Structure 1
Amino acid sequence: MSIVSKITRQTDYNSFPPSIPIVIDNGASYFRIGWAGETEPRLIFRNIVQRPRHKATGETVTIVGDQDPATMKYFDCTRSGPRSPFDSNVVYQFEIMEYILDFAFDRLGATGSVIDHPILITECACNPVQSRSKMAELLFETYGVPAVAFGVDAAFSYKYNQLHGICKKDGIVVCPGYTTTHTIPFVDGEPVYKGSCRTNIGGYHVTDYLKQLLSLKYPFHSSRFTWEKAEDLKLEHCYIAPDYATEVRKFQEGTKEAEEKTRYWQLPWIPPPVEVPPSEEEIARKAAIREKQGQRLREMAEAKRSSRIDAMENELHSLRFLVKQLDQVEEDEIPSFLSDTGYSSRQELESTVSKVTQSLRKARGEPKNEPAESEENTDSNNNEKYPLINVPDDMLTPEQLKDKKKQLFLKTTTEGRLRARQKRNEEELQKERRNQLEEERQRKNPEFYLEEMRAQYKEVLERVEKKKRLKTNGTSTNGNNKSGGVGRGERLSAAQRERMRLLTTAAFDRGKGEDTFGSRDEDWQLYKLMSKDNGEDDEQPDSDEAELARLSCKLQEIDPTFVQKPEGESSQASGEAPRVRPLTEKDYKIVIGIERFRCPEILFHPNLIGIDQAGLDEMSGASIRRLPHSDNELEARLTSSILMTGGCSLVPGMKERLESGIRMIRPCGSPIQVVQAVDPVLDAWRGASAFAANMNFLGNAFTKMDYYEKGEDWLRRYQIRFNT
């Protein structure tokens, strides 16, 4: 197993005889290991394991504890994050625990796989017997340890401070740790675990709460609020307020005291470059560029118009040549001659020639021919083609009357087709005229034309979206041009509402008595009305969508930056990005005010983060009430020696706040004294080291043979005795 670490390896392991125990403070945050009788542990590192791969070789390495970021850049840590063997404060991942013990024994100087020293290892109060049994099995089976002893870290800290006269034989130890907080009463120098109390709150939650508050307060700097940085800010700036409500009121009112307690963290900030107004030469250069672009657009439009005129001239030349050839063909051979050209008759070919001629004249800007002559020719042709139409009926024979009806029908149909064709021609002419006007406007001022097209597109798009919203949500508004709450009836058209009314009326009449619907003809008429899918007054398709499509195509041709709005996307989502205020130097100044005391306040009020449990002051009262034989005299002795230990007890204001909180729940006049441990972080290991150096240590330990003979049930009742 490859181990990467910045901790140097000890060299004096063989100088200690096998009778000297190894002391391990196995905390949820830090792992401390050393020799019994010493005042300082040999190794201290984070109780985490990470197993990334090397980017170059692909080898999987084991990293225990924190590492230098300069070293970690050579490893791929995306698939292997830091892992802890603890769940809350109980060891449950013994594979990770084995990596940590391997690393600890290796850095302590052990050369072989067998550890021939007794081991004293700490655990949490009321540790589950399964976790204790697995730990014993790991130490006995994997490392061959001759004897093992388990003890509670808070109890060792209390006994160590008792030796130094900080606390008395009777008292309470309050240990706010990394993930949990414990209170353990001591009577005659022995811990009474039946009176212990635990809350699932600790320093980890304080740090995480501070990280969340700062991330919510400064979302644009959330990447800078790492867990490690939040831990540093907590240790440097956080404190516990004597009265939380009063302290909050000071910050709400913005008093001078609140301003003095506010801390600032200035992040690196680079001012944006100052925009210098363009010079006259720059303005002239941009004007020349715009003129050049306009000239290029005008040339492109003129080239497009010329190519269209050339295409129509070629088409007209081909059609006229085809007409000349058709004049040379006999009448009987005309259908076979036209079968390959795509035209069915001479009239269709001549109509196409006339249409192309008119389009060519309009493209050139020439006036169109007067239609008087064509109308006279049409009338003369009708008279020759339908001779019986103008003849009175009394002058015709029965056969001629039938022919007259046929001629009248043919004439009416032909005239209707001609009118429809003329209408289409007029629409096309209007469309061409409008295109010519737009092209002329585009040639004169391309930039103004582009802005006008964009404005038209935006206006038509808003109308189309408004109609879609009204069709979906109804027409009622709440005064702010926003759709109000409407029912299904307001979303239906008039015809659909009428059908619903008929259906409701029919159903209501049916419930009055005997069902006779269908016996009358009027009922079937009602059935036809109700079964219609589209009424006469249903909404007709609007031309705005067609206009929107036309403007989109036009903008795509002349504006390379134009992006058409996707179907079904709202205007807010597809429109311009909201303009955000640029960040200034003030935005890079992190203000840490109320967060300084709001985060550690969860130790006394866990409900601030949704944990419905007791705070530190309430836990002390609960431990006293849980004692099996408690009286006023014993309670007075306990409250007169309350020891604070653990990392969170270093937060400023903890002693005063805990003392005032306990005083509020105790009877008036009760002696209350809260003291702090000499070193709340290392006193647990130092107390265990002093206990392991005692000659009576082996009487509290159990061997591998005892573990196999007495079994797991014996570990359930196992407990270290300090007064033996």
Structure 2
Amino acid sequence: MPFISRTIRQSDYSRFPSTCPIVIDNGGSYFRIGWAGETDPRLVFRNIVLRPRHKTTGETVTIVGDQDPTLLRYFDCTRSGPRSAFDNNVVYQFEIMEYILDFGFDRMGVDGSQCMPSFFLEITAFGVDAAFSYKYNQQLGVCDKDGLAICSGFATSHVIPIKVDHEISRFTWEKVEDLKMEHCYIAPDYASEVRLFQKGTKEAKEKTRCWQLPWVPPPTEEPPSEDEIARKAAIKERQGQRLREMAEAKRSSRINELENQLQGFEFLLQQLAYVQESDVPSFLAKGEQVESESKADPSTTEKFPLVNIPDEMLTPEQLKEKRKQLFLKTTTEGRQRAKQKRFEEEMERERQNQQDEEKRLENPELYLEQLRAKYKELSEKVEQRKCLKINGGSTNGNHNVSGGVGRGERLNAAQNERMRLLTTAAFDRGKGPDEDEAELARVTSRLQDIDPKFVPKSELGPLQSSTEVPWLRPMTKEDFQIVLGVERFRCPEILFQPNLIGINQAGLDEMVGVSLRRLPSKVEGLEERLTSNVFLTGGSSLYPGMSERLEAGIRMIRPCGSPIKIVKAYDPVFDAWRAAAAYAASLQFPQQTFTRMDYYEKGEDWLHRYQFKYSL
């Protein structure tokens, strides 16, 4: 099974004689093939090839033209995209071109067991599609004898002075899909049309097109029943009851703790009743020392006898030991102050949680929204501070403004001493954790308790920056629409302004001027005869407004009062094939062809000098 396609195979191949030529219009977009003498091609299909593999057997098949959507169930069409044999209207992938030609002959009805007629293999003729279309429309009375043919096709555009043997120019443009041919148009004035859409006027909305993709609306959800509403209310009430019980347990625990402290103070007062007034300070100091020794870390029970002794009374070894004891004492005291600070902060957080719980019970939805906003604000602030610490802020040379050093740089002795003093001062001031980070930790813990959908930012993946699990809204009809507004005229504008897509070449109107300047100056009135019969053909000439825009562009480069007339082909897409089919069926065709032996004997340079004659 070499080919899989929706194109129907012809069944009347045996009816035609072996001398009847097959006419091919090998366009960059579509491939047209048929018999000479007929009015329309037998086959028209996209000039592309796709070679997918079968999902089960792994067999590779060849799909030419538009693929059948049902094939996606059996073949993997994702790994092999559609390929064209053309590059700027020139065949450069001959293997793909061979697939397309074989497919064309196969669908024309050529049986694999049959041999192609030797006459067909030996006799060949080539022609220019724009010239064929011009001659065909000349017979129809659309254009005159002499004229300027403009062929704007799928990948290239050509300007050809008819009856003048001279150079022509061309430019290439990006391939576009079927939507541009269906919805695009040529703007009479590109700048004015752009301003029209920028203002968003009513006229711009009328010119906007919406292409609806296949879409099946999701089933509508029925409103919850009374039983469902009651069930959700019961669940919400149970959750609220559980939170109230947790808060009550914490309050009870705190009350018990305070009652124990109160009993301790009452016992101390009873003991003080048996102590003399002069012995009260020593009694309290002894009790405090016993309590601190029983609760403190074992490292805090160390003695520091050298700390309070003046340096003049110590030996060098004792001075070293004194500095060591001073450092240990400072660190121990700082640790104790930090512990006390954390205890106070814990008490403050408990108080805030109690207040938050009261607010939450008053309005749960508003409270949760405010808590999420606060979490977002604090997390952004903490993240920004971390970035500043990593980057070192604004720098001056290798060091930052504050005199610190960047990451990866070693600290010298002076900087080490400075860092030690700053650390000691921080302990002396009782500086605890960063306030924003502590508040962020509290808010995070609170959200984890009351919001089951909440996920902390630290637990999200690297591609997720949201503070919550993203909520997917249901797909609507608008999600399956392609809206074409300003794109309708911006796409074909590259025919006149190729620089919009970075192509440094001339537009269609400028190409006309270039072709006219290259004409022989000795022929009087030639330019006027050509501009009075400008012929448009090719698929891109079907854009609405093409004739008007081209005429306006040509008038700008021609002298005032010059005759200019734009005519369009009767059928810009098929006229070239029809003219070639009529030419191949004429009696003069055998005298205007060449054989394969001619090509082997004279080479490709002979083709360049070959003069094609139109004798229709």
Alpha-carbon shift at residue 79 of structure 1 (Å): 0.6
User: SS of 1:566's equivalent?
Assistant: helix
Gaps of at least 5 residues in structure 1 are 120-144, 209-226, 310-358, 383-411, 476-485, 498-526
Contact 1:89 1:180 in 2 (8 A): yes
Q: How does 1:575-594 map to 2 (within 5 A)?
A: 575=467, 592-594=484-486
Match of 1:376 in 2: 283
> How do 1:207-226 and structure 2 match up within 5 A?
208=176
Amino acid at match of 2:50: Q
Describe how 1:190-201 pairs up with structure 2 within 5 A. Answer: 192=165, 194-201=166-173
2: CA distance, partners of 1:421 / 1:24 = 92
CA distance change for structure 1 residues 699 and 82 in 2, over 3 Å: closer, same or farther?
Answer: same
Q: CA shift at 1:435, angstroms?
A: 8.4
Q: 1:565 deviation in Å?
A: 2.7
Instruction: Using the aligned pairs only, state the percent identity.
Output: 53
Letter in 2 for 1:702: F
Q: In the alignment, is residue 90 of structure 1 matched against residue 90 of structure 2?
A: yes
Unaligned runs of 5+ in 2: 273-281, 290-325, 406-411
- In 2 relative to 1, CA 443–368 (structure 1 residues): closer, same or farther, beyond 3 Å? farther
The residue aligned with 1:652 is 544
Letter in 2 for 1:712: E
Give the Å deviation of 1:569. Answer: 10
User: 2:433 aligns to what?
Assistant: 543
Letter of the 2:22 counterpart:
I
Matches within 5 A, 1:292-371: 292-297=238-243, 367-369=263-265
The 5-angstrom pairing of residues 137-152 of structure 1 reads 145-152=121-128
Query: Is residue 454–residue 468 contact of structure 2 (8 Å, CA) maintained in 1?
Result: no
- Residue in structure 1 matched with residue 505 of structure 2 by the alignment: 613
In structure 2, the CA distance between the partners of 1:251 and 1:577, relative to structure 1 (3 Å rule), is same
CA distance in 1, matches of 2:477, 2:92: 48
Could you tell me how far apart the structure 2 residues matched to 1:105 and 1:419 are? 97
- Structure 1 stretch displaced more, 78-87 or 259-268: 259-268
Contact 1:240 1:601 in 2 (8 A): yes
Question: Structure 1: which amino acid aligns with 2:63?
Answer: I
Contact 2:444 2:456 in 1 (8 A): no
C-alpha deviation, 1:703, in angstroms = 1.9
CA gap 1:494/1:429 in 2 versus in 1, 3 angstroms: closer
1:522 maps to: none
SS at match of 2:283: helix
Aligned to 1:408: none
CA spacing shift, 1:714–1:536, aligned 2, 3 Å: same
In the alignment, is the contact (CA less than 8 A) between 2:341 and 2:432 conserved in 1? no
Asked if structure 2 preserves the Cα contact closer than 8 Å seen for 1:52 and 1:76, the reply is yes
Q: CA deviation at 1:49?
A: 0.8
State the alpha-carbon separation in 2 of the partners of residues 162 and 455 from structure 1.
75
Q: Is structure 2 residue 152 aligned with structure 1 residue 176?
A: yes
Note the C-alpha offset of 1:673.
2.3
Shift of 1:535: 7.0
Letter in structure 1 aligned against 2:67: Q
Q: 1:677 aligns with which of 569, 572, 575?
A: 569
CA contact (8 A) 1:195 1:624 kept: no
Aligned-partner residue type, residue 679 of structure 1: D
Q: Distance in 2 between matches of 1:589 and 1:688?
A: 42
Summarize the Cα distance change of 1:367–1:381 in structure 2 as closer, same or farther, 3 Å threshold. Answer: closer
Pair 1:630–1:587, CA change in 2 (3 A)? farther
Counterpart AA for 1:544: D
Task: Give 1:178's aligned amino acid.
Answer: F
What is the letter of the counterpart of residue 240 of structure 1? I
Secondary structure, counterpart of 2:419 in structure 1: coil
Contact 2:152 / 2:541 at 8 angstroms: preserved in 1?
Answer: yes
What does residue 313 of structure 1 align with? none
Specify whether residues 16 and 656 from structure 1 end up closer, same or farther in structure 2 by C-alpha distance, changes over 3 A only. same
Larger radius of gyration: 1
Please state how far the C-alpha of 1:672 moved relative to its aligned partner.
2.4
One-letter identity of the residue aligned with 2:82: P
TM-superposed CA distance for 1:177, in Å, is 0.4
- Provide the C-alpha distance between the structure 1 equivalents of 2:587 and 2:235, rounded to a whole number of angstroms: 96
Mean Cα deviation higher: 711-720 or 618-627: 711-720
Q: Which amino acid aligns with 2:587?
A: M
1:47 has 2:55 as partner = no
- Identify the residue that residue 7 of structure 2 maps to in structure 1: 7
1:70-122 per-position Cα deviation (integer Å, ceiling 9, x unaligned): 34443211111111111121111111111111111111111246422656xxx
Equivalent position SS for 1:563: coil
Superposed displacement of residue 179, structure 1: 0.8
Secondary structure, aligned partner of 2:59: coil
User: SS of the residue aligned with 1:184?
Assistant: strand
Structure 1 residues 559-568 or 6-15, which shifts more?
A: 559-568
- 1:312-346 CA-partner distances (Å, limit 9, x unpaired): xxxxxxxxxxxxxxxxxxxxxxxxxxxxxxxxxxx
Kept in 1, the 8 Å contact 2:159–2:170? The answer is yes
Secondary structure at 2:438 match in 1: helix
Flag the 1:695–1:586 CA change in 2: closer, same or farther, 3 A. closer
Residues 699 and 470 of structure 1, relative CA distance in 2, 3 Å threshold? same
Deviations 1:436-475 (A, max 9, x none): 8689889989868996987886676466446446656899
Alignment CA distance shift 1:85-1:470 (3 Å): closer
Residue 117 of structure 2 corresponds to: 116
- 1:199-598 to 2 correspondence within 5 Å? 199-201=171-173, 205=175, 208=176, 227-228=177-178, 230-231=179-180, 234-235=181-182, 237-248=183-194, 261=207, 263=209, 288-297=234-243, 367-369=263-265, 376=283, 461=379, 464-465=382-383, 467-468=385-386, 486-488=394-396, 492=400, 496=404, 529=414, 534=419, 536-537=421-422, 540=426, 543-544=433-434, 547=438, 551=442, 554-555=445-446, 558-559=449-450, 560-566=452-458, 573-575=465-467, 592-598=484-490
Shift in alpha-carbon separation, 1:563–1:240, aligned structure 2, 3 A:
closer
1:6-27 Cα deviation digits (max 9, x unpaired) = 2222222122222221111100
Deviation at 1:574, TM superposition (A): 4.1
2:438 counterpart letter in structure 1:
E
Within the candidate set 137, 143, 147, 1:161 is matched to 137
Structure 1 CA distance, aligned partners of 2:76 and 2:95? 21
CA distance in 2, matches of 1:28, 1:238: 20
Inter-CA distance 466–117: structure 2 relative to 1 (3 Å threshold)? same
SS of corresponding position for 2:607? helix
1:715 to partner: Cα distance: 3.2
Corresponding pairs, count: 550
SS in 1 for 2:34: strand
Please give the alpha-carbon distance, in whole angstroms, between the structure 1 residues aligned to 2:332 and 2:133: 109
Q: Which residue is 1:107 aligned to?
A: 107
TM-score w.r.t. the length of structure 1 is: 0.62
**Kept in 1: contact 2:37–2:581 (CA 8 A):** yes
Specify the code of the residue in structure 2 equivalent to 1:368: G
* Secondary structure in 2 matching 1:83: coil
Distance 2:140 2:76 in 1: 49
| CA distance, structure 2, for counterparts of residue 18 and residue 585 of structure 1 | 56
C-alpha contact 1:298 1:442 (8 A) present in aligned 2: no
Cα pair 1:32 1:42 within 8 Å, conserved = yes
- After superposition, the Cα gap between the structure-2 partners of 1:533 and 1:102, relative to the gap in structure 1 and judged at 3 Å, is farther
The TM-score, its normalising length taken from structure 2, stands at 0.72
Cα distance change on mapping 1:465 and 1:689 into 2, 3 Å: closer
Q: CA contact under 8 A between 2:454 and 2:469: conserved in structure 1?
A: no
Note the C-alpha offset of 1:164.
3.0
Contact 2:133 / 2:575 at 8 angstroms: preserved in 1? yes
C-alpha change, 1:36 and 1:16, in structure 2 (3 Å) is same
One-letter code aligned to 1:163: Q
Q: Distance in 2 between matches of 1:417 and 1:177?
A: 84
Aligned to 2:526: 634
What CA distance in whole angstroms lies between the structure 2 residues aligned with 1:248 and 1:238? 14
Higher mean alpha-carbon deviation, 679-688 vs 53-62, is at: 53-62
1:50 Cα deviation after fit: 0.8
Q: Aligned in 2, Cα 1:422/1:363: closer, same or farther, shift over 3 Å?
A: farther
Letter in 2 for 1:46: R
